[in-house]
Amino acid sequence: AQRVTQPEKLLSVFKGAPVELKCNYSYSGSPELFWYVQYSRQRLQLLLRHISRESIKGFTADLNKGETSFHLKKPFAQEEDSAMYYCALSDLNDYKLSFGAGTTVTVRA
């Protein structure tokens, strides 16, 4: 069974400070990892995926298979980064997504 754990329910940082959201997973095969984000009064949307290895809105995430982690990082948080962030895992065969419980990020001025 696949499982995604986000240990932090709430994360509060000051504008300009670094932010890191933790995500750990358990899965027996080769998963694909994602970060989804939900801004206030908006839909859940894809932020980034590990395969693309892109930086989106200043965020990066590296898949560490040894530690089974996929932490999301941004060196300088902005107020517009305040949102709910979900880590998700997909089986490459059936595309099903398993989500973590989410982390609410608040960036204070």
> 3-state class of 86 per DSSP?
strand
Smaller CB distance to another protein: residue 17 or 51? 51
Question: In angstroms, rounded to a whole number, what is the distance separating the alpha carbons of residues 13 and 20?
Answer: 10
x-or-dash pattern for another protein, window 71-90, by CB under 8 A? Answer: ---------------x-x-x
Helix, strand and coil content of the chain, in percent to the nearest 5, comes to: 5, 55, 45
Write out the two tokens for 82. Answer: 């305040």
Smaller CB distance to another protein: residue 85 or 107? 85
Question: In angstroms, rounded to a whole number, what is the distance separating the alpha carbons of residues 83 and 35?
Answer: 12
x-or-dash pattern for another protein, window 7-46, by CB under 8 A? Answer: --x----------------------x-x--------xxxx
The residue ranges that bind another protein (CB under 8 A) are 4, 9, 32, 34, 43-46, 49, 51, 86, 88, 90, 94-102
